[in-house]
Structure 1
Amino acid sequence: MTQPNQDRRSERARQAIIEAALDLCREQGLARTTIEEIAKRAGVGKQTIYRWWPSKAAVVEDGVNEMAGTATDFPNTGDLLADLRTQMLGVASILASPRFAPYLSLIGAAQDDPDLASSFLDGLVKPRVGAARERLRAAQEQGQLRADADLDDVVELLYGPIYYRALLRTRPPSADQVDEILRLAFAGLTT
């Protein structure tokens, strides 16, 4: 008789936990979601969750990172505006999607939890900001972007308006917004 594959069983449990956490977060927000509810919905014990994650926020963070996948990766076609538009459309689409509501919940929860803020920045934000900065640095080297432009400021200039809409719910982030941000920003950023 063949023994069950423990790795596969663990991966199934891990995915069930992440899906349960994300679903509960979408339904009732991160603040009202509990480890007990996640465990019950996933069909696992609480100890299984705590074996892999220190908190419910950490579960949601892993799930959001997996969902985002390559949607926020930066292309490098040599055309900075086209590459930024492609990547920013991915970000706007994610932030406008109810599926990614847990991401916005994490941002809110991070405001009062320094450990979550640090983990969130290190795991989700900094890698993506670093990729944006590298793409902008390549554009500077190619003469597509002013050499004296502070790349961190450029990242904030480009992405701040998208996050503003998503977090304050003034209007949904959109393709039209991305196009307008790029038009406005590059009138003053091009060489």
Structure 2
Amino acid sequence: MTDQPSPPRGRPRDPKSHAAVLDAAFTVLEREGYAATTIERIAAQAGVAKQTIYRWWKGKAPLFMEVLARKANQSVQLPDTGSFQGDLTALLTGTFAAVSTTLRPLMRALAVELLQDEEFAGAMRDVFVQRRRANVRALVQQAIGRSELPVDTDVELVCDLVFGIMWYRLMFDHAPLDKCAARQIACAATAAAVQNNV
């Protein structure tokens, strides 16, 4: 599904400048890390005035939330393998591959930001978290349509099972997020849903 940018502030965004800022933010992030990245450095990399960035985003965290949503949308596509477990495995394999790149420290950094800012936490849920969950919801509904899963499957708890494990491993780094993990999580979520225990 397509991630829409956050509502513009002030004048409408110029599409080319908007894309340039997002690209520049990711370039600076890869080079310097989230903590060292500043709006000034992003503006210089993008070739725009820093006032332009502040007109479109309230600060660094909302800007990088859009960078994250954009990268996630580019990296992860909804699969159709013919089975729920196969679909979920494919979705998580793509998701974990993206998370294993520069996005992993970015997601950790944004998790810290949302704990300190309720407004940003709400935006993060709307722009990033809910849209990732919507992908799993779509796969569950697809599986219900194929009569693989019960019609009363608790879709939201399936989402919690899938993404709860992902975020736990992401934050504490106690176990890998790889193809094996994708298969294991998909298998567990499928078994629980088929048995209607979720």
Q: What is the TM-score with the length of structure 1 in the denominator?
A: 0.81
Displacement, 1:62?
1.8
CA contact (8 A) 1:146 1:189 kept: yes
Match of 1:145 in 2: 149
Residue 168 of structure 1 aligns to which amino acid in structure 2? F
Whether the aligned pair in 2 keeps the contact of 1:31 and 1:109 (CA below 8 Å) is no
Structure 1: gaps spanning 5 or more residues: 1-9
> Residues 190 and 84 of structure 1: is their aligned pair in 2 closer, same or farther, counting only changes over 3 Å?
same
Greater shift, 90-99 or 10-19, is seen at 10-19
Partner residue in 1 for 2:52: 48
Residue among 66, 69, 76 paired with 1:65: 69
SS of structure 1 residue aligned to 2:116: coil
Q: Specify the alignment match of 2:10 in structure 1.
A: none
The answer to whether residue 123 in structure 2 is matched with residue 110 in structure 1 is: no
Are 2:102 and 1:98 aligned?
yes
Letter in 2 for 1:166: L
Change (3 A) 1:83 1:111: same
RMSD of equivalent CA atoms: 2.3
TM-score, with structure 2 as normaliser: 0.79
Deviation readout 1:65-88 (Å, 9 max, x if unpaired): 222224323223431111111111
Q: Count residues in correspondence.
A: 182
1:125 aligns with 2:139: no
- Asked if 1:33 is matched to 2:37, the reply is yes
Greater Cα radius of gyration, structure 1 or 2: 1
